Amino acid sequence: MVVQSSRTASVLLSAFLSFGLPSAQAVDLDPTQLEGRYRAVVGLWAAGDPRAIDELVRFESSTISDRDPKTREILHKAEQRVISDLAAVDLEVLVPLSVLHQEAYRHYALHGGIGAAQVATHDRTLALDLALLYKKYVDTPAASALASRLIARLASVSTDSFQAAKLFQLASELDPKNGLPLLGLATVFEKNGNYTDAVAALERLRKLDPENSKKFPEGTLRLALCLARLDRRPEAVELLAPLAQAPPASWVGLLAAQELARIEQEARRFERAEKVLRAALLRFPRSARLTLQLVSVLDSRGAQQEARSVLGTLAEIGADPSDDSRYRYNRLSEDLFNDAERVVEPAGRERLPALASSLGPAAAMAPATEEGVAR
Amino acid sequence: MSRGRALAVAFLLGFGAVAAEAAIQVRIKSPAPGQPIFGPTELAAEVVGSEPIARVEFFCGGRSVGSVATPPYQLTWNAGEQNIPREFRVVAYGASGSSASDALTTEPVQIDERLDLELQQLYATVLRDRQRVLNLDPNDFEVFDNGQRQELVAFDRGELPLSAILLIDSSESMRGERIEAALVGARAFVAGMRPIDQASALLFSDRLMASTPLTSDSAVLNKVLTHIEAAGGSAVNDYLFAALKLLESHQGRRVVVLLSDGADIHSVLPMAEVLRESRVSQALIYWIALDDGSKRKSFTSAWRNWQTNDREFEQLEKAVDESGGRIVRISKTEDLTSAFAGILQELREQYALSYYSTSNKNDGRWHKVEVRVKASGVRVRTRDGYIDY
């Protein structure tokens, strides 16, 4: 959908200007030159050239200094003037622009933002604002769903857990039918030891749609483990037992078996723990960790000879460098980014012609040079 | 443990083991694997080599029981009446100084599932003004087991053989210079080992990345200790448990040298379980704590909140302390090699005190152990006790 409305564009402009940043003084950066450079980066992006991300990073990081917050303020104003001009032509350009700034933020998240805190924050903030503005002024269910995915994608690469929680919450509110932001929200809570709120988010996920338990087995696993940590072990066991046996034999099933056995072992129900582990070893015969757990359980119930015998079976298993299940659990689900990406990537790509058109013919063709974008 | 079991464990730890070119080869002919050993026992070895053999030395439970300089390489040794598994080792020394070894473990007669471990071995480091005291004799020591004075049946200085597991954290946070320095340090430990010592290298993150069997062959160890791509999180508990468990079936001086730059994140086993195993296995635990272990503070993950992580960390410290080992805190990677070498030197300078406890009941209870030295101004570090199984 392409919207062209001078009324909408003027509202958008005033929304941008209401961000309330104080005006810049005493910083020797030429706003006109900054606008030109930014338009050139956007032109590259509009032409479908992924080098635009590196160019944006190079441009912004050479402009914004962590030591001088005013540099961020000046750049912000220059970029918002360009964005306002472009959005005045077509509000749809907000989507690819949000994606561009997300990609710049992701660059800092992946490569480390030491010395680049201000510029990383700038890109995260701008990516979020553009998504919210798009939702607000296009104002359709489809725009809400797209804004939700834009924000969920941003949350899933966020390095700041407080910001990630806020973003997931927002993404969930914008598109309540999508359960993934709730899984993300719960994971952030869990990683911060806030099991009560994690349980609340995961229970909302289950209530949202009866199919969500099947769609998101990771959510069930996380719910069970958070319940166990809140001393609600019988409920945890009830959730984990079927998960440990459910096909296919996935990393979630492997962890469900490990954690179910752990709960049983901690409750000194060694025979039950042993039963869980032996059944799991039939499904995951190469799991060194399950084998070690079984050794521990056998030891705990006084069967030292048998424990030594099981330890010997590790010979056939050996190193297990591919078993990253426990590491994976300690991270945000890959599904979060992938799901958002499935929607966001084509949505951004489809709107590039609109972005090119809003820039006008000359700027849209700006070539890249050795030093950066031509200006 | 039979030879078959020994091979199984070797396989567990032995990925890509390298057979070094050996000028001498030695094989234990007697006793047979799995054979219960009581009373006078013939020990015999078959030795072949491309150079003259200087001597062949026999060990049981890490203690030398005799050596033979000329063929046939055999002797008779009184094993006593204890029904226990026994770890035999034979080392053949060539005239040029080269050596080769073989080992096997015999089984006890199985009465039930209890391992009879009445002979208690303590390894004591004695310090005066932070310097190790090296001139003590048996009369200088008093050992108390649950408050009862014990009679020493054997006394040795630190030249006893050791079985060490080098447990190297290879997680993401060790990437680059850190892991390289860790491997250099571990190789320095291996270089300082004697032919009668054996070690295994376990490189772990949240999973087991690479490993070797327990071996005296430095080529096998160095192959794994040359390079590893650090990745993933950290599961100290799980792999410390595995290391202790693997050492449990070995006799003599057992040591785990753990190198890690932070606390556990991803283990399924709680540190309480590792602590229990440590009390049973009686292995010494040394922990080289990179970054001074400072990563423990307010650390949280999806697996544990910060309070639980701190508790786990404290229990790791307790396990190390109780074992008679120590925490070597370092803040710079360039200190890693001297940390490893320092631990090996300390092990060389320990006193080994053995006694049959007069208070053993095999009731699974904790026995508090105390070692006193009749000398002024000294401090003794040894294990705090053991679980009586």
A216-225, A328-337, B337-346: least confidently modelled range: A328-337
Give B291's DSSP letter: G
Nearest to A336 by CA among A142, A152, A147, A208: A152
DSSP H helical segments within chain B, as ranges?
3-13, 177-192, 218-224, 236-248, 271-281, 306-323, 336-348
Query: Would you state the pLDDT for residue B22?
Result: 55
Give B365's DSSP letter: E
- Binning pLDDT at 50, 70 and 90, where does residue B19 land? very low
The C-alpha of B207 sits at a distance from chain A's nearest C-alpha, in angstroms, of 6
- Binning pLDDT at 50, 70 and 90, where does residue B250 land? confident
3-class SS of residue A156: helix
Query: Would you state the pLDDT for residue B11?
Result: 32
Angle between the N-to-C axes of helices A352-359 and A94-111, in degrees from 0 to 180, rounded to the nearest 10 = 110
CA distance B219 to B215: 10
CA distance A61 to A56: 8
Chain A (272-291) residues lying within 8 Å, Cβ to Cβ, of chain B: 288-289
**A321/B contact by beta carbon, under 8 A:** yes
Nearest to A105 by CA among A118, A86, A91: A118
Phi, psi of B120 (to 5 degrees): -95, 135
- Binning pLDDT at 50, 70 and 90, where does residue B372 land? very high
Tell me if B113 and A306 make a contact (CB, 8 A cut-off). Answer: yes
Query: Would you state the pLDDT for residue A167?
Result: 96
β-bridge pairing B253-260 and B162-169: parallel
- The 10s digit of each residue's pLDDT in B229-239 is 999 999 999 99
B53-57, B83-87, B110-114: least confidently modelled range: B110-114
What are the helix and strand counts (H, E) for chain B?
Answer: 7, 22
CA distance B9 to B103: 13
**B109/A contact by beta carbon, under 8 A:** no
Q: How far is CA A26 from CA A33, A69, A356, B310, in A?
A: 16, 12, 34, 49
Query: Would you state the pLDDT for residue A28?
Result: 55
Which residues, 6 or more positions from A136, have their beta carbon under 8 angstroms from its beta carbon?
Answer: A15
Which residues, 6 or more positions from A263, have their beta carbon under 8 angstroms from its beta carbon?
Answer: A228, A233, A236, A237, A240
The pLDDT of residue A40 is above 70:
yes
**B168/A contact by beta carbon, under 8 A:** no
- The 10s digit of each residue's pLDDT in A23-37 is 334 345 888 999 999
The C-alpha of B245 sits at a distance from chain A's nearest C-alpha, in angstroms, of 8
Q: How far is CA A223 from CA B15, B76, B308, in A?
A: 38, 64, 19
The C-alpha angle with vertex A308 and arms to A307 and A312, in degrees rounded to 5, equals 115
**A293/B contact by beta carbon, under 8 A:** yes
- Looking up tokens 């471990």, which residue turns up? B117
Query: Would you state the pLDDT for residue B51?
Result: 87
- The 10s digit of each residue's pLDDT in A288-326 is 999 999 999 999 998 988 998 998 887 667 777 788 999
3-class SS of residue A110: helix
The C-alpha of A51 sits at a distance from chain B's nearest C-alpha, in angstroms, of 29
The pLDDT of residue B165 is above 90:
yes
Question: For residue A308, which residues of chain B lie inside 8 Å, CB to CB?
Answer: 1, 5, 248-249
Q: Which residue of A has its CA nearest to B208?
A: A319
Question: For residue A307, which residues of chain B lie inside 8 Å, CB to CB?
Answer: 245
Which residues, 6 or more positions from B350, have their beta carbon under 8 angstroms from its beta carbon?
Answer: B123, B124, B125, B157, B158
Query: Would you state the pLDDT for residue A115?
Result: 63
**A187/B contact by beta carbon, under 8 A:** yes
Q: Which of B209, B246, B273 sits opposite A296 (nearest CB)?
A: B273
Q: Which of B113, B208, B242 sits opposite A305 (nearest CB)?
A: B113
Query: Would you state the pLDDT for residue A47?
Result: 95
Query: Would you state the pLDDT for residue B49?
Result: 83
Which residues, 6 or more positions from B114, have their beta carbon under 8 angstroms from its beta carbon?
Answer: A304, B362, B389
A93-107, B124-138, B150-164: least confidently modelled range: B150-164
CB B267 within 8 A of CB B236: yes
Token pair in block for residue A372 = 């950066």
Q: How far is CA A4 from CA A9, A10, A22, A138, A144, in A?
A: 8, 11, 31, 10, 18
Chain A to chain B, count of Cβ pairs less than 8 Å apart?
117
* Cross-strand pairs, B330: B290
Query: Would you state the pLDDT for residue B274?
Result: 94
Nearest to B297 by CA among B318, B275, B322, B314: B314
